Amino acid sequence: MPNISHARKLRLKKRIVFAAFLFPLLITAGRAENGRRHTNVPPSPLSKYSFHPTPSLRPVLPRVVSHGLSSEKTIALTFDACSTHAPSRYDERITEVLVKTHTPATIFLGGKWMEDEPAQTKYLSALPFIELENHTFYHPHLTKISNEQIREELRRTQEAMYTLIGRQPTLFRPPYGEYDKRVETIAAALGLTTVEYSLASGDPDPHFSKEVLIKYVTTMARNGSIIVMHINGRGWHTAEALPEIIARLRARGFTFVTVKDLIHSEEKTAHRK
């Protein structure tokens, strides 16, 4: 029987080794794997800030706003500052036009864009007629990433803005106009209303000259339009076309408002009904 007892001893030894060394190792490896899978956003090599956690916002009803009331002659000009892989750019000529013409607008800022442009973010936040909102951190295709990654993209952008200017967005625009029920619901749980647009200006197309852009936007604009353009250099002729777009639409009796104003007047009307 000495053989059996020896085998038993060996088995016991193996169990002890497993319990003492291998099991914790497996757990750690599992955690690391989990962490990788859910690592929402890769650490940014450009990260200059340790972000402050934001106070939680009250959840909102999931919905997508893509236009305002068709009964009111109001238009919301919106500009996206998309985070790109290349160093971010900022077309300050656009802000100059908005300031000069006292035109309210909503700007959706990428988290990484803010990280690259802290001074501009602070400058924009000081303009009372400009609304700053969330355009995700790294500009991913949201419908192709996990729930946790979506949450992290939104959360980190909230934190970036909160760290820089002490307030956080309540609106969010998905990159590439890509969203689904899942994206909308996750955003709503974080207190963010998803905002799309009813009129894509076409300004990322280099073939859209200043003249074409003016003609297209002013012809297509309607009551309650949410128009999307770019402020990060993706709009080729946006800054040149903007003064004329604003002037022509105002001459036709339109008033420019922020997206939040557009939503408020819609809610007020719904309340009255």
List contacts with Zn ion (CB under 5 A).
80, 82, 175
Toward Zn ion, which CB reaches closer, 175 or 235? 175
**Distance of closest approach, residue 117 Cβ to Zn ion, in angstroms:** 15
Phi and psi (nearest 5°) for 132?
-110, 125
**Distance of closest approach, residue 270 Cβ to Zn ion, in angstroms:** 29
Which pair of structure tokens corresponds to residue 66?
């893509």
**CA angle, 40 as apex, 34 and 42 as ends, to 5°?**
105
Grouping H, G, I as helix, E, B as strand and the rest as coil, residue 91 is coil
At 121, the amino acid letter reads T
Across-strand partners of 228? 78, 200
- DSSP state for residue 146 in the 8-state scheme: -
**Distance of closest approach, residue 14 Cβ to Zn ion, in angstroms:** 56
Toward Zn ion, which CB reaches closer, 74 or 237? 237
Grouping H, G, I as helix, E, B as strand and the rest as coil, residue 74 is strand
Q: Which of 206, 189, 179 is nearest to 66 (CA)?
A: 179
Other beta carbons less than 10 A from residue 53's beta carbon: 10
**Distance of closest approach, residue 177 Cβ to Zn ion, in angstroms:** 9
Alpha helices in 77-224 (DSSP H): 92-100, 111-116, 118-125, 147-165, 181-189, 210-220
Toward Zn ion, which CB reaches closer, 80 or 117? 80
**Distance of closest approach, residue 175 Cβ to Zn ion, in angstroms:** 5
Q: Which residue is nearest to Zn ion (CB)?
A: 82
Grouping H, G, I as helix, E, B as strand and the rest as coil, residue 125 is helix
Q: Which of 65, 67, 84, 64 is nearest to 76 (CA)?
A: 67
Alpha helices in 170-236 (DSSP H): 181-189, 210-220
Toward Zn ion, which CB reaches closer, 82 or 130? 82
**Distance of closest approach, residue 116 Cβ to Zn ion, in angstroms:** 14
Toward Zn ion, which CB reaches closer, 87 or 253? 87
Per the document, the length of the chain is 273
**Distance of closest approach, residue 70 Cβ to Zn ion, in angstroms:** 26
Toward Zn ion, which CB reaches closer, 82 or 241? 82
Toward Zn ion, which CB reaches closer, 80 or 152? 80
